[in-house]
Amino acid sequence: VPFPFSMHRMLLEAWLSQASGFAADRIEIVTVPPPKMADAVRGGTLDMFCVGEPWGSVAVQQSNATLILPGAKLWGFSPEKVLGVQRKWASEHPALCRAMIRAIYKAACWLDQPENTPLAVEILTRSQHLDLPDQAIDPALSGRFITKHGQRPKQTDQFMSFHKGSANFPWRRQAHWIADVLSRWHHLDETGSRRIAQACFRSDIYREALTAFGEDVAQPPAHSEGENPNATPLPSSQEQVIPAPDRFFNGAIFDFAGPNSPD
């Protein structure tokens, strides 16, 4: 995995733990920088890895690896990547903090438009970014993957969402799931962990940054986001604001408006 405390490791462990006969001492989970994963597979150092694109496609193209399944098949709407700052910095630089949120929001809207994919790929190929050939970057943005060398591309629908379904909204329900996993790993108090996670996912700042400039951001259900108890979801003219309940690989349903996180 690319980092010990990452969504990649959480999803990988959740998936492996469902296998019959699974035992934690039968596998070793190690940290490897994503650009070095293809070489590690080719050299036999790694048996498998869970990482974001384009490094899976790089491994197929350079190391004869096989893509088993996309992360969206483990959890359909799992969060990935954050804009994180210190609480003190956010309070001391409110205008800059909110400007960064709006910049990412507008970039995400742009990236979700299929007609912008060719330019996005071209930008990412540049040396100051990923410095990779376009065929390594295109699959993640187009959803067309070659899962094994020599095979034809396969379309993977909804592989990545930048904006649709309020993908960038800091859902505290997702924070609870992450907190629950970390609590099990480290034998922490679940209630306390959820409280800390909820304090980090600042949906209030996100909403303030966008609604003040006329962007269409709705009020999520109070019991899921811990805010105004009299609030009701508001319709969105752009996209569905409250994501539909989505599925884990084992059939469990993650319902953004439900009272509890799935096991």
Query: pLDDT tens, position by position, for the chain (263 residues)?
Result: 999 889 999 999 989 988 888 887 888 999 999 999 999 999 999 999 999 999 999 999 999 899 999 988 899 888 988 999 999 999 999 999 999 999 999 999 999 999 999 999 999 999 899 999 999 999 999 999 999 988 999 998 888 889 887 888 898 888 999 999 999 989 999 999 999 999 999 989 999 999 877 776 655 544 444 443 333 333 344 444 566 678 888 888 887 766 665 55
Among candidate residues 32, 152, 129, the one with its CA nearest the CA of residue 139? 152
pLDDT at res. 256: 72
Among candidate residues 188, 181, 164, the one with its CA nearest the CA of residue 262? 181
Does 11 fall in a domain? yes
Decide: helix, strand or coil at residue 257: coil
Range of the domain at 57: 7-73
Does 176 fall in a domain? no
- C-alpha span between 118 and 147 (Å, rounded): 21
Virtual torsion, Cα 166, 153, 57, 52, nearest 10 deg = 20
Does 42 fall in a domain? yes
Does 236 fall in a domain? no
Amino acid at 56: G
pLDDT at res. 67: 95
The 3-state DSSP composition of the chain as helix, strand, coil percent (nearest 5) reads 45, 5, 50
Among candidate residues 144, 138, 161, 147, the one with its CA nearest the CA of residue 240? 161
Among candidate residues 105, 220, 233, the one with its CA nearest the CA of residue 174? 220
Give the total number of structural domains in the chain: 1
Does 68 fall in a domain? yes
Does 107 fall in a domain? no
Amino acid at 256: F
Q: Which residue has the tokens 């409280």?
A: 195
Does 164 fall in a domain? no
- C-alpha span between 130 and 125 (Å, rounded): 6
Does 175 fall in a domain? no
pLDDT at res. 77: 86
Q: Pairing mode, if any, of strands 144-145 and 154-155? A: antiparallel
CA distances from 205 to 80, 149, 184, 210 (A): 19, 45, 29, 9
Amino acid at 218: A
pLDDT at res. 255: 77
- C-alpha span between 51 and 195 (Å, rounded): 28
